[in-house]
Amino acid sequence: MTDLFQFEADFANTLHCIPMQVRLKLDTCGIKLKLNQWSLLSESDKKQLLTTNCNSPEETASYRRLLKELIQEKTGQEATELLIDKAPAWLNQTEIPQRILDKAAEEKLSFSKEMWSNLTPLQRFALLKLSASGHENRNFLPAFKEFGLQKALDY
């Protein structure tokens, strides 16, 4: 499968947890998918959610419909809708969210705007999620390294 990160390798082959690529699509289309709902999906359903595009407004609307249908069909529950951020932080190439800077400082890492701007939106999204309060955060440093930010480790 494409676009799965190395730091996700412990569950990527089984798709036991929701990969960052799917989590990005969930935030993009405004649907909450709980881990227990994800676990009720078939491997084929999970791969479909992983590989289906969710970039243009049309693709996002289609992905949203697919997700709502799968949740209803596989769990018997209505999908929980979320507000869609019209200007998500991961798409802003010029401003690093403070919580990422705080997490980097906690890990004794330097992180510049240039580094941030050179990341893909998916990589920026992952760092944002991995720096969230209440998140386990154990993959922040592995993600930082995987994204080629090792030179910052000399901080």
Tell me the C-alpha distance between 155 and 44, whole Å.
44
Per-residue pLDDT 10s for the chain (155 aa) are: 456 888 887 665 667 889 999 999 999 999 999 999 999 999 999 999 999 999 999 999 999 999 999 999 999 999 999 999 999 999 999 999 999 999 999 888 888 999 999 999 999 999 999 998 766 668 898 999 999 886 544 44
Q: What distances in angstroms separate CA 106 from CA 112, 142, 150, 155, one per listed residue?
A: 15, 14, 16, 12
| Both tokens assigned to 31 | 């649907």
Look at residue 155 in the predicted model and tell me its pLDDT: 43
CA-to-CA dists, residue 92 to 106, 116, 118, 154, angstroms: 23, 9, 11, 26
